[in-house]
A and B are shown apart, each in its own frame.
Chain A
Amino acid sequence: MAIIDVADLSKTYGNRTVVDRVSFSVDRGETVAVLGHNAAGKTTTVEMLEGLRSPSSGSIEVLGCDPRRTGRAWRERVAVVLQETAIWGSVTAAEALDLYAGFFAEPWNPDDLLELMGLSTCRDARVGTLSGGQRRRLDLALALVGRPEVLFLDEPTTGFDPAARREAWQFVRSLRTSGTTILLTTHYMDEAEHLADRMLVMAQGSLIADGSSADLARRIGAQSVISFRLAPDLTAADLPRTSGSTETFGTLVEMRVPDATSALSTLTRWATDNGTTLDALTVSRPSLEDVFLQLTRSDHASRDGDDG
């Protein structure tokens, strides 16, 4: 059963189209990531789903309701973490959470939730004195205190250090296990991969891809990037053949290969046999940048100059 159903959703400001005929649906218990660069239309889309912005055209149903025509009962089931954390600076973490808990019939115990979010030690600290990451976690706690069925997270970990990001991911995953339907926006490919069952890729207001990371990888021909520096006496022509494309930038070599394991094995054997080294060797998954380049190249070639 679809918890979120979006059909032909558009948003225009004057003659600027920010969201352009977007359609998708999210099933109960799914975690879906909306992926895109800044100004891709992610936040506008999500804020329309939250009922904070009005669509210019198209339709939205969240839990069977148009978010612009809902009341208290709907808001008890739908929780939101906005892109900007905004909590009164002069109240303590515990006071803020108590206030929000008071809106619901059966909230989480605020102390348990603070502990779960790693905020026990700052329960009596004023919000204004918390770090950005702590404030963000408190913001998430405020959203969760009413045990929502649907959770919107707009760039939940932007500004987190890597450790805090891992913790937040773990937490979001545990929510997923409990059956919460989650729609999050992010511009981190790895975040989407860690958390989401499915990704919606947006560029310039349009939905350019919808599928699991494996689906997307398949669509763009999922190539890993192997890069290294060649010894100065060698050139790309000396390299062994691999099943991908090779580009050189001076001594820097970048190979795009579908199967990193076999390519690496070929390369390292070649290096050992020739008594040379592969300096600064890295293997990386395709970056969001790569995905975009590939997706926009394949999908929008015919629509060049449409916008932006």
Chain B
Amino acid sequence: MATTAELRRPGWPRLFAGQVRHHTRLFLRNPIGAVFGVGIPVVFLAIFAGLYGDEILVDGRWLGPSETSVDGIRYIQYAVPAMAVFSISMIAYVNLATATAQERGDGTLKRLRTTPLPTSAHVAGRIGAAMCICATITIALVVVGTTVYDFDIIWSQVPAAVVTIVLGTATSAALAMALVAVVRPGAVQAVAFGTLLPLSFLSEIFLFGDPLPSALSAIGWLFPLRHFSVSLAATARPDAAALGFAWGHLAVVVLWGVAGLVIALRWFAWDTSGETRHRPHD
């Protein structure tokens, strides 16, 4: 029989909401996270759009300035989703991994572990906060893109964009947790940055004049970032399938997310002694 305390204890949704609020607050008060996660994508969007905004892309390459043709797409239609993908990766991968590793290293997570806060509410709250921040930044990028650079929102593809962003954020978060689980705390930030930046180039998030050599391009296709990027770009292409779902690419993103989740569940520990791995009754 449930005791009074059990009946009156705060429910999961309230604890989850509290965690979302708390981790959003931590993000907003961390200037480095805000600069890298918000400032850089917006500045890059301005730079790239200013340079190439009106050029025409065919299969991810541009033809040089000309009128928009039926086959081609203006560069800005690629740049807005690409910067959203970069921003989401910064926040839900680099930032989430760095913050979690730091809290794990200094004992904050261990301390929290001794409280009645359910692990599921805590972890979901962290990821929920990352999703809220990512959604806000994506909206900001779209607003800047539409008002300043004539980015066209393809309304029929907005549901696909939302699904893609949610899946991409979830995969980024799962990979962040996997990283924290297997890399020592001091190295997590370096590894997170050190994987995201090269992959951003290999995934043509930052698109330059010449195509990538095919070997480099092939490497890019092995990792989830390029599939995420292509999936989101597909939701802003007038020539894409009507609803804009890139199912094949999304499947690769989800597979990586599942792999990250499995690693995190198997090896994640709440402190550096590694003894706080399992608590069966959460």
Contacts and interface: CB of A to CB of B under 8 A. Distances in A.
Interface of A: 50-54, 68-73, 75-76, 78-80, 82, 84, 86-88, 90-91, 95, 99-100, 102-106, 139, 142, 146
B25 A91 contact: yes
* Most-contacted residue by chain A among B29, B107, B115 (CB, 10 A): B115
A50 B115 CA distance: 11
A52 B18 contact: no
Contacts of A99: 18, 22
Contact of B10 (A52, A71, A102): A102
Contacts of B273: 52-53
Contacts of A100: 115
A52 B271 contact: yes
Given A52-B271, A69-B280, A82-B110, A103 B29 contact: no
B115 A103 contact: yes
B106 A86 contact: yes
A86 B103 CA distance: 8
A76 B3 CA distance: 12
Interface in B236-282: 271, 273, 275-276, 279-282
A103 B10 contact: yes
A139 B107 CA distance: 12
A135 to B, nearest CB: 12
* Most-contacted residue by chain A among B15, B26, B103, B114 (CB, 10 A): B114
A99 B21 CA distance: 10
A86 B110 CA distance: 9
Given A88-B26, A88-B108, A90-B26, A71 B282 contact: yes
Nearest to A143: B114
Given A53-B273, A70-B281, A105 B8 contact: yes
Contacts of A102: 10, 14-15, 18
Interface of B is mostly: loop
A76 B118 CA distance: 11
Contact of B114 (A79, A87, A105): A79
Given A52-B271, A88-B103, 11 more contacts: A52-B275, A53-B273, A72-B118, A73-B3, A76-B5, A82-B110, A90-B26, A91-B25, A102-B10, A103-B15, A105-B8
5 contacts: A70-B279, A71-B281, A73-B3, A73-B5, A90-B29
A52 B9 CA distance: 24
A97 B4 CA distance: 23
A95 B114 contact: no
* Most-contacted residue by chain B among A51, A103, A139, A146 (CB, 10 A): A103
A76 B5 CA distance: 9
B150 to A, nearest CB: 39
* Most-contacted residue by chain A among B30, B107, B111 (CB, 10 A): B111
Nearest to B2: A73
B6 interface: yes
Contacts of A146: 115-116
Contacts of A68: 279
A182 to B, nearest CB: 15
Contacts of B117: 103
Interface string B43-57: 000000000000000
B25 to A, nearest CB: 7
A195 to B, nearest CB: 21
Nearest to B25: A91
Given A51-B279, A71-B281, A105-B8, A87 B118 contact: no
Nearest to B109: A86
A106 B116 CA distance: 13
Contacts of A70: 279, 281
Interface string B80-121: 000000000000000000000001001110110111111000
Nearest to A54: B275
Contacts of B113: 52
A75 B108 CA distance: 17
Given A75-B114, A146-B116, A84 B106 contact: yes
B114 A82 contact: yes
A100 B279 CA distance: 20
Contacts of A69: 280-281
A106 B115 CA distance: 14
Contacts of B271: 52
A100 B118 CA distance: 12
A75 B5 contact: no
B262 to A, nearest CB: 23
Given A99-B18, A102-B14, A103-B116, A91 B280 contact: no
B111 A91 contact: no
Contacts of B107: 82, 84, 86
Interface string B211-251: 00000000000000000000000000000000000000000
B6 A73 contact: yes
Contacts of A78: 114
A142 B273 CA distance: 23
Contact of B9 (A54, A76, A80, A91): A76
Contacts of A51: 114, 279
A76 B107 CA distance: 20
